[in-house]
């Protein structure tokens, strides 16, 4: 198959199509993980985005399904330098091409991903369109025009598309925690379950009365795609429970918590997407290597007067990576302590801190 990628700045490149034929559009971003393409592709936070992998070879160990972070691929398309369709890994059940085809997701390889990455770094994440198929119709597709005509990703409500549609429970012997699903990853749930919590996952549009029905001992706001200001119900929930129950968040969850307390967020130039983002803890001076996937961040000056203390920052660009309020019993991180893909340096530290804070409030 033929693949043609177009960008809003007029760039048009041709490559080899794979996966499912079709035409898709979205925001082009790059991710720096060297492995973990299964986890990245199935991360709901990539909803609405064409995912460019900077590591040149994808698919070399096939697809097992053991590390999916949701039931389906979240990304709109996959863009990479080269794919390998003869994996030999003993756990592989299909190739990367077969996986995308089954999911109805197009992909393109055989193009210069280094050029695309440099372009995104210089100009920022941009609108893009991809056409994959056979014959002259694909070559003639106006992918540049499609890229220019689509709305900005910040204007879209992507959260409702990836949230669960009805509540469900993961039973445990510990305190009951309600987790608002804005696009939650499975490994967050697994990490919380390992702490013994009795977990109730509720949709992103749940009302305060829906949450109170479960009489939780804490509220947890998950990761998810898009602009945090679109998470209106989650913002309302944090405002309501702040100071009454402990509140925790990961990634988009941090931004929602900050907005609820009166702080501001802004869109980063090209976001943080990868498994090698350095995070410096301001108290200990320790630098952790973390997994991240977000386009928005907290405006640090706006946190003044909210009761939130900035406790960690990105060692590369100084963006906020963690906030805490001992008085309100709040803690949130911008990175993904549960990883998948990426390092697990912060997993035990964060989730055990959640458990300790809830236990402290129970006394």
Write out the catalytic residue numbers.
Answer: 251, 336, 338
Q: What's the order of all strands across the beta sheet hosting 265-281? A: 168-170, 198-203, 176-181, 218-221, 247-250, 330-333, 320-325, 309-314, 265-281, 287-298
CA dihedral of residues 230, 235, 236, 242 (deg, nearest 10): 180
| Residue 7 annotated as part of some ligand binding site | no
| Alpha-carbon gap, residue 39 to 43, rounded angstroms | 6
| Residue 293 annotated as part of some ligand binding site | yes
| Residue 57 annotated as part of some ligand binding site | no
- The separation between CA 242 and the C-alpha centre of its own chain, rounded to angstroms, equals 24
| Residue 224 annotated as part of some ligand binding site | yes
CB 217 within 8 A of CB 211: no
- The separation between CA 81 and the C-alpha centre of its own chain, rounded to angstroms, equals 22
CB 255 within 8 A of CB 224: no
Q: Is 90 exposed, middle or buried (0-12, 13-18, 19+ CB in 10 A)?
A: exposed
Question: Strand 309-314 relative to strand 320-325: parallel, antiparallel, unpaired?
Answer: antiparallel
| Residue 5 annotated as part of some ligand binding site | no
CB 184 within 8 A of CB 221: no
| Residue 189 annotated as part of some ligand binding site | no
| Residue 197 annotated as part of some ligand binding site | no
**Which positions make up the binding site?**
45, 224, 226, 252, 255, 293, 296
**Which positions make up the binding site for L-glutamine?**
45, 224, 226, 252, 255, 293, 296
């Amino acid at each position: 198959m033929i693949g043609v990628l177009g960008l809003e700045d007029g760039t048009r490149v041709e490559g080899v199509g794979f996966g499912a034929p079709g035409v898709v559009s979205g925001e082009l971003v790059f991710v720096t993980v060297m492995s973990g393409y299964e986890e990245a592709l199935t991360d709901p936070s990539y909803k609405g985005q064409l995912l460019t992998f900077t590591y040149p070879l994808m698919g070399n160990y096939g697809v097992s399904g053991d590390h999916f972070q949701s039931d389906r691929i979240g990304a709109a398309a996959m863009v990479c330098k080269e794919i390998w369709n003869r994996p030999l890994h003993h756990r592989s059940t299909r190739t990367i091409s077969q996986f995308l085809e089954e999911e109805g997701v197009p992909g393109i390889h055989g193009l210069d991903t280094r050029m695309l990455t440099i372009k995104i770094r210089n100009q920022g994440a941009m609108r893009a369109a991809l056409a994959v198929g056979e014959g002259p119709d694909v070559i003639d597709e106006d992918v540049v025009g499609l890229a220019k005509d689509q709305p900005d990703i910040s204007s879209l409500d992507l959260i409702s598309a990836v949230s669960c549609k009805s509540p469900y429970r993961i039973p445990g012997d510990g305190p009951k925690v309600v987790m608002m699903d804005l696009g939650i990853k499975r490994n967050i749930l697994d990490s919380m379950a390992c702490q013994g919590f009795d977990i109730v996952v509720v949709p992103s549009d749940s009302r305060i009365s829906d949450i109170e029905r479960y009489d939780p001992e804490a509220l947890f706001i998950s990761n998810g795609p898009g602009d945090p200001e679109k998470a209106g119900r989650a913002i309302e929930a944090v405002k309501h429970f702040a100071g009454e129950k402990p509140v925790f968040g990961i990634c988009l969850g941090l931004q929602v918590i900050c907005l609820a307390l009166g702080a501001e967020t802004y869109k980063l130039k090209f976001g943080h997407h990868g498994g090698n983002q350095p995070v410096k803890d301001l108290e200990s001076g320790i630098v952790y290597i973390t997994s991240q996937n977000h386009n928005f961040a907290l405006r640090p000056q706006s946190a003044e007067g909210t009761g939130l203390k900035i406790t960690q920052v990105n060692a590369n660009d100084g963006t906020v990576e963690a906030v805490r309020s001992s008085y309100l019993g709040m803690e949130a991180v911008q990175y993904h302590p549960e990883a998948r893909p990426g390092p697990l340096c912060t997993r035990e530290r964060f989730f055990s801190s959640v458990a300790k804070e809830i236990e402290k409030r129970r006394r």
